[in-house]
Structures are given as structure tokens and as C-alpha cells.
Amino acid sequence: MAAYIHPTAEVDEKAEVGDGTSVWGLSHIREDARVGRNCNIGRGVYIGPGATLGDNCKVQNHALVYEPAQVADGVFIGPAVVFTNDPHPRAITPEERPKGPDDWTPVGVIVRQGASIGARAVCVAPVTIGRWAMVAAGSVVTRDVPDHALVAGVPARRIRWVGRAGVPLEDEGDGRFRCPETGEGYTERHGVLHADKDLS
């Protein structure tokens, strides 16, 4: 099934949008951006030049995905989320002239498979959000988020572990955790959470 592009959306002719993807009203996908298959790009979303999204992603209304963000398959980006790309933002140079493209180097946010970023969260590049991690709504992420971590706050800190279903895991003691929804088991080793099936 071909992609659906709303008449009010702006998709650059050099952008790539995969089959089965919907791009809703007033969204803007810039040149050389790549959006995978079966994604849902909500109203008013901005995806910067050269940014990449994998398959089966959901980007909610008014999210700003600035280049050179790299988003893997199955990622959820909530309403009004912002991915920054300039660690030292200024409108002008030290010589007081307007900054142009040659006056700074964009750095990106990386989001691994299955992660979720809650509404109005800000991810301050350069950071990596790990596989199946979850960023709580309104958080400000200033450092890397481990796989399966649930982080919250300003700045965001890990408060729980979550499984692939996104539900906080139950602590069974001795570094063992279990998902109450799927029954999947996990083991924590040296501050890193592993699914038991990945350890076998």
C-alpha cells in the first residue's frame, strides 16, 4: 500500500516515505529525510534534513525531530517531543553576525528499537535512548538511557525497569525481574537489564 500524504503536509521531493505510512496535516518532512514503512506521522510534525525513522514508528502531533536524529523500528514519539541538535546554541557568532550552516555542526539523538518518548519530553543531543526504554512525559534527557530503563524528571533519571510491553517490571529479588503483563523474565547484571531469552 502506497504512503498517504495529507494535502496540507509538505514532503520534500528528495525525502523518502515508505509504503503504508501516513503523513497527516501540516507536517513537514525535509530533504533527504527517510521515513520507513507503516509509520504514522501526526499533525504538525517536523522531521529535519537527513533524519531517519525506521519502520512501524508513531510520531505524535507537533513533535520536532531535528537532524541528524536516527530513530530505529517501532519507536513511539509522543506529542510535542523535541529532539535538539545544537549543544551550544547561539543565533549569532562571536563576531555578531547571524550563524549559518558552516558555523556549527549538528549532533543527533539516537533512539533504539521499541523505545517510547512521552509527551513534551526534551532529548538534548547527543544522547542515545536504549532498546525498549521509556522516557516519562515532561522529562529532560541529558544523558544516555539504558535498554529497558524507565526514566523521569529534570534531568531524567532511571526510576524503574520496563519490559517490551512498557509495563514496569516486578522485582523478584536477587537481580531478577518479571513483566506482570507478558510473564517474560529479566536479569540485571552490573546495572544492565537483560531479557532471559537473550541470555540463553
Q: Which residues are catalytic?
A: 62
Q: Give yes or no for a contact between 12 and 31, defined as CB atoms under 8 angstroms apart.
A: yes
CA pair distance 9, 17, nearest whole angstrom: 13
Q: How many CB atoms neighbour CB 68 within 10 A?
A: 21
CA pair distance 184, 195, nearest whole angstrom: 8
The three grid cell numbers given for residue 37, joined into one nine-digit string: 514503512
Q: Give yes or no for a contact between 175 and 189, defined as CB atoms under 8 angstroms apart.
A: yes
CA pair distance 13, 198, nearest whole angstrom: 41
CA pair distance 185, 195, nearest whole angstrom: 6
